[in-house]
Structure 1
Amino acid sequence: MSIIFFLLINIRVSKEHREQSQKDLNELKIAVAKELQTSRNLHTQFVQDIKDKCKAMAAGNGPSTGQKYKIKFLEAHLESTKKRSNELAVENAKLRRELSAKSARLNALEATLKGAKGCATPDQTRLEFNTLVKRLAKKTFSQR
């Protein structure tokens, strides 16, 4: 008798599990159906929007006036930016050449100064150095 009772309880529990699973499955089916319908609606709307945009472009309705203004504005600034970039590149090359020339001149002056230091007295060297620095400063400022 206890075996039969145990089997009846197992059958009842299995039936309850099956009913709960069936209920969960039905809820899941409903949720999937809703999501599928939403997806279909979005797809339909997307396709309609694409068709409308294609028709508008085919009819010659291009960018709006505001968009045309923005495009012209950006094109104008692109041209001026390109022009200024080229000017800066030329100026940069010129400054690099000047820098290398001044660097060579400075090296020559330093070599001359070192040679003069060995021959001159300290006061005379200081005077010559100050005079040389003043002349170099005048040349540098006059070239600019």
Structure 2
Amino acid sequence: MATLYVILLTLHNINRWLVLLAGMWTLFRGFSGLSSGRAYTAADRRPVVAFVGTVSLQLVLGLLLFGFMGAQNMPVFAGARSSFQWEHLGLGVLAAVFATLASALSKRATGNPARFRAMTIWTVLSLVVALAGIPWWRPLLRFFNL
């Protein structure tokens, strides 16, 4: 049981960096599309799909950890403010909602600027919320003890 917890926690920790990388990739494509006025293509769609996928995976891993251990028994929050595990959960859900909106609204928008704008705005909001929810006092790469 403890081994499954460590595996899930390690995957959750590593995936955090994939979320941030996919988010930065999405912002790069979004800002460059807005500034250049070019057409929105499949190459612009890929990063936002990767971003929503990594954020969704992060949420699933987090919910598995939360359900597996229970909010009161999670050792990763030992020493933290007592409410942080609930803030972490809420911010994770909100980041996933914003990432999903980045994908859905950029897909549905009409016109290239509107697509880039939706993609960029909702990704920025998702990343800000995600960054606020990361427990930065923990190891940056738990598996490698960094």
Structure with greater helix percent: 1
Q: Which has the larger radius of gyration?
A: 1
Higher relative contact order, chain-length normalized (CA < 8 Å, sep 6+): 2
TM over 0.5: no
